[in-house]
Each structure stands twice: as structure tokens, then as C-alpha cells.
Amino acid sequence: MNAELLRKAQTGDDSACEQAVRENSGLIWSIVKRYYGRGAEPDDLFQLGCLGFIKAVKGFDFSYGTAFSTYAVPKIAGEIRRFLRDDGAVKVGRAVREQAQSIYQAREGLRHELGREPVLSELAERTGFSVEEIARAEIATDTPESLQSENEDGLTLEGTLGTDAPEEQMVERIALREAVRSLPEKEQKTILLRYFKGLTQEQTARILGVSQVQISRLERKGLDHLRKIFSP
């Protein structure tokens, strides 16, 4: 994507945003096609993909050192998955979904009041939930299926596991969701928080109530287990 066009779009130039969407419609459709047959119309999925694309435009940082398309793909897919999840494609208990919705609303309110992302202790105080309950609800209502999603350190499962296969082929071949669920509980939580929630090792350690050194060890063990599953 043209850097000058991207910068204009980031400043709120509507015409630049529209042009960026037109020029990248092929990329958006390529992601949309992965979600055909899940109960939503293709045009609706495309609109969701466009929304994810615009969010990627707004959030992209040129200092990342990565191509914009690399950053945009998980944003586009994430917006579609979020819709499919909330529309009932992924079944989660009603109580957990209501809890997650309360957490989401509290997070948005605090973000507006504080002008920054709230920390877990602030969310816990606002919602009355424990840090562990917040993590459990957000993990349960998340959809861990993207190998390309980056964590806080810019790492992805795709890159860490050393595969260059397309995401959809890899998901179909090894059932990533089930692979993660097969991990021992602490390793599973560590991988989910680090790679699907994008938390740092320090944040993950606080949630799980262990040291950062233990998180590093759990993460390494979890990835070793996944590599064995991913090995041909």
C-alpha cells in the first residue's frame, strides 16, 4: 500500500480511506472467502472486513518494520471472527458472555476516561470481577484460530512454529484450536494470553499469579508441544 496514501488515511482523510479500501479490496476479499458458509452473507462479511481494514489503517505504526498487509490481515480476520462469534457461531455460556460484555463496556469506559488502555486492576475495580475472572471471560469469548496474530512482542504462532503454509490450510490440517486445548492447563493459559490476547510475559505472570521466569518456561514448553503437533 502506498505510504503517502496510508499516512493521509491515518489523518482522517475520508477520500484517502475510500481509495485505500478500493485499492485493497482484493486483499479484503481474500480474507472474507475463508469465512464463507458460516451463516453470513459474503457482502456482510466484506463490510466487516472493510471495518477491520480501516482499524488496521488507523492503528498501523510505520516503526513496526513490517509490511502494512502483514499487519492488516489479522485485523480484517479478527473483525469477521468477532462478528461470527458474537452472532453465535462459537457457543459460549450465556453467563460468561454477559460477563465478557460487562468487561468490554467497562474497558471502553475507562479507556475514554483515562485516555489510555486500562490495566487489569482498574478493570477489576470497575467491574467487581477478579483478575482471574476477567482473563477467563476474555479467553472464553475470544476465538483462538489465527496463526498470524501478533502478541505484544511482535511474535506470531505462525512465525514461532516455523511454518510458511497459508493460515487456512494450516488451521484445517492441524486444528489449531484443539491443539492449544490439548496443552496442560497452565501452558494453555500462557499461550492464549501471550499469543491470542497479546499480553506481555509480565502481564501474563500477574494474571496467572506466577513469576515472569515461570511464564517464560511455560511458554517455551507450550510452544515445544505445539511444534510436535505441527511437525510433518
The model's pLDDT over 188-207, given as tens digits with 9 standing for 90+, comes to 888 888 877 778 888 888 88
pLDDT at 161: 56
Residue 160 clears pLDDT 70, i.e. is over it: no
Of 54, 61, 97, which Cα lies nearest the Cα of 76?
54
Contacts of 226 (CB under 8 A, 6+ apart): 157, 161, 179, 180, 183, 191
Domain 92-141 falls in which CATH fold? Answer: Arc Repressor Mutant, subunit A (1.10.10)
Report the topology of domain 143-232: Butyryl-CoA Dehydrogenase, subunit A; domain 3 (1.20.140)
Query: For residue range 87-111, what is the model confidence (pLDDT) as tens digits?
Result: 544 445 667 778 888 888 898 889 8
Residue predicted with more confidence, 178 or 9: 9
% of the chain surpassing 90 pLDDT: 9
User: Which of 83-87, 149-153, 166-170, 222-226 is most confident?
Assistant: 222-226
CATH 1.20.120.1810, domain 1-89, yes or no: yes
| CA atoms lying within 13 Å on the CB side of residue 219 | 26
Q: Domain coordinates of the chain in residue numbers?
A: 1-89, 92-141, 143-232
Calpha distance 43→60 (Å, rounded):
25
CA distance 121 to 207: 10
pLDDT at 225 over 90: no
End-to-end CA distance of the chain: 35
pLDDT digits (tens, 9 = 90+) for 120-143: 778 888 999 886 677 667 656 654
Task: Name, of 32-36, 48-52, 130-134, 141-145, the range with top average pLDDT.
Answer: 48-52
11 vs 151 pLDDT, higher one = 11
Check pLDDT > 90 for residue 77.
Answer: no
Global pTM value: 0.41
Average pLDDT over residues 29-38: 84
Q: What is the pLDDT of residue 227?
A: 75
In this predicted structure, the answer to whether residue 165 has a pLDDT above a threshold of 80 is: no
pLDDT over 70 at 50, yes or no: yes
